[in-house]
A and B are shown apart, each in its own frame.
Chain A
Amino acid sequence: MAEKLLRVHRLRRIYVWELPVRIYHWINVLVLLVLVVTGFYIGNPLALMSGKEASEVYTMGWFRFLHFAAAYIFFFNFVFRIYWGFVGNKYANWKQFIPTSKAFWKELKTVLKIDILQMKGDKEEREHLSIGHNALAGLTYFGTFLAFLLQCLTGFGLYASMASWWFPKLFTWVPFLLGGDILTRQIHHWTMWFFILFAVIHVYLVFYHDYVEGRGEISSMGGGWKFIEEDFFKKNKSHTPNPES
């Protein structure tokens, strides 16, 4: 028994996701859910079984209001996250999302091999674990940022013609660039499916990492803490440097 106890890892408790990052994440969850549900309704509204006059009902109006309100929150939340990518801790830094080093690409390859394709790999590769986002996750989030941007551009572009505030009017050039509202609307609709697929895969992978690595992946987005083996820091191979101890 004693021998086995020696193999128990000493865990270091690391504050990975700062409060603003966690708030950003959960606002995003809520708002995206609202946007997708109301978006589906706006795209193809359900048949209303109502004998009421139009003047007494405002169903589509409310769905649209929710969609637009959620869109504003989504947009400013997104802008805030970009800002935090410059002032937050190293796990929130923009370098987590945009490859700037060779180590990033190396880690990306390893994650693909070991976690996604479940290949054996050598010992070093099997111990590739990173503390914050792994390289593949980081790059995928960068992809979602591009999708956020596309969704904001097309969404506010469509909204601009009925807006009175100057802000959405800044986007009038989008439908003009795309040759009209019809295509703008289609792109907005197609991109929504990216978010749905992303959410499904994202949630699965969070469970996967929590299950396989046992470092508190799921709860980290609640309290911000992850629990990392002490030996990890001696031979850190990830593209994110060790935290200052």
Chain B
Amino acid sequence: MSKHKLSEEKWFEQPTYYDEIRFKGYTRRDFMKFASMMAAFIGLESSAIGQVAKAMETKPRLPVIWLHFQECTCCSESFIRSSHPIVADILLDKISLDYSETLMAASGTQAEAALKNTLEKYKGQYILCIEGSVPTGADGVYCMIGGKTSMQILEEVSENAAAVIAWGSCASNGCVQSAKPNPTSATPIHKLVKGKPVIKVPGCPPIGEVMAGVIVHYLTFGTIPELDRLGRPKAFYSKRVHDTCYRRPFYDAGLFVESFDDENAKKGYCLYKVGCKGPTTYNACGVMKWNAGTSYPIQSGHPCIGCSEENYWDNGRLYQRASSFAGFGIESDADTLGKYALGATGVALAGHAILTNINKRKDINTLTAEGEAGDVDVIE
């Protein structure tokens, strides 16, 4: 098989994905497998595989700027581990060439120049991917890169972006750094970028294939994927982890793990009672799984912590279903509080009943007397 030929001129301009894929040594067959996989992931019919392949063959690769703010880089880690090597090799290697703090080779002045270059050259065309939230507290000094605050960078770079992708829970909803009391005022991207489509891809991290799927969708159709009301791609976030869970039959049967490592846990029962947030979490973990479809938290015996849900860090406790009740101590939940309230109500009502018998004695006696008098009336 002859190596894919690429004219030098074309290479320096804007090669297509196909050009790069072939240049890297993948066969046409590999490429078609990748296109089919991606089409399946983004929920297309098999007839659309051709569309995906064609888009990758003909359209120049998307210029992408990938910014990192308040985050842990787990989104990038997840992305480069997505199951098909082409994802990492082409999508990430190439898209991130433009600018990505973590993965680009350049640094310092060169890196800044690369960013500036992309901003100018692909004005209005590039996709802006953001990992991490933006601290707005103290004028944004909590996160600074190259002498600029992340707020400034976001403003500059988002201005001429075609679309914005918020990778992970940090960028989508603030994640742990925005947990109460949110000392740095960590703010998710959609609250800062106005007048542009923002695709939220929540998860801590999101699944690599999901991330690739979002990009491929944009590449294929030139539009952002269909989003739900929260701004998440419907193809991946419309089902609860619970609805696709292989332990669901145990849930419906009422067979639960009571504590970790008990007999029920060994039998693989449902993890609902040890705090599984699957029933309240929208993600594709149960279907796509992680690490090339190897497993996902529930499969390895750990309850879902709901990492792709907004406020999961403040809204619930990781290993209990009930959340703590703010202001009443860590251990108090709605039921504890409710029992106390019920007890207090009982005491108050008993007190009221006693008082009634004392204070209303006269009224009650009158009623009784009237009743007796009426009796007499009837008898007479």
Contacts and interface: CB of A to CB of B under 8 A. Distances in A.
Q: Is the interface of B mostly helix, strand, loop or mixed?
A: helix
Contacts of B279: 181, 185
Contact of A176 (B230, B251, B377): B230
B240 A43 contact: no
Contacts of A9: 370
B376 interface: yes
Contact of A208 (B316, B323, B345, B353): B353
Nearest to A214: B367
B31 interface: no
B310 A179 contact: yes
Contact of A50 (B255, B321, B355): B255
A201 B349 contact: yes
Interface stretch (A14-22, A55-63, A87-95): A55-63
Nearest to A176: B229
A200 B346 contact: yes
Interface residues of B, number: 59
B250 interface: yes
A189 B334 contact: yes
A181 B281 contact: yes
B254 A60 contact: yes
A63 B251 CA distance: 11
A61 B248 CA distance: 11
A180 B311 contact: yes
Contact of A200 (B228, B252, B322, B349): B349
Contacts of B230: 176, 179-180
With a 10 A CB-CB cut-off, give which of B253, B311, B345, B371 has the most chain A CB atoms.
B253
A101 interface: no
B280 interface: yes
A180 B309 CA distance: 6
B369 interface: yes
A1 B254 contact: no
A182 B352 contact: no
A43 B311 contact: no
Interface in B310-342: 310-312, 315-316, 321-323, 334-335, 337-338, 341-342
A47 B258 contact: yes
Interface string B222-265: 00000011100000001110010000011111111010000000
Interface stretch (B73-81, B106-114, B357-365): B357-365
Nearest to B173: A179
Interface stretch (A68-76, A132-140, A190-198, A216-224): A190-198
A204 B349 contact: yes
Nearest to A116: B352
A56 B229 CA distance: 39
Contacts of A179: 173, 230, 310-311
A197 B258 CA distance: 30
Contacts of A189: 322, 334
A182 B334 contact: no
A214 B374 CA distance: 14
Contact of B322 (A4, A43, A56): A43
B345 A7 contact: no
Contacts of B258: 47
A200 B255 contact: no
A47 B256 contact: yes
B192 interface: no
Nearest to B312: A182
Contact of A48 (B228, B255, B306): B255
A172 interface: yes
A179 B312 CA distance: 10
Contacts of A180: 230, 280, 282, 309-312, 315
A54 B360 CA distance: 59
Nearest to B315: A182
B277 interface: yes
A80 B277 CA distance: 36
A55 B373 contact: no
A59 B373 contact: no
B280 A185 contact: yes
Interface in B46-72: none
Contacts of B273: 44-45
A43 B316 CA distance: 14
Given A4-B369, A5-B377, A211-B364, A182 B342 contact: no
B272 interface: yes
A45 B252 contact: no
B291 interface: no
A149 to B, nearest CB: 19
Contacts of B338: 193, 196-197
Minimum-distance CB pairs A-B, first 9: A59-B254, A181-B280, A193-B338, A57-B253, A60-B254, A54-B253, A176-B229, A61-B252, A179-B310
6 contacts: A45-B256, A181-B282, A182-B306, A185-B280, A189-B322, A193-B337
Interface of B: 173, 228-230, 238-240, 243, 249-256, 258, 272-273, 277, 279-282, 306, 309-312, 315-316, 321-323, 334-335, 337-338, 341-342, 345-346, 349, 352-353, 355-356, 359-360, 363-364, 367, 369-371, 373-374, 376-377
Given A182-B316, A193-B341, A211-B356, 10 more contacts: A43-B322, A44-B321, A50-B255, A57-B253, A61-B252, A161-B243, A176-B229, A182-B323, A189-B322, A208-B352
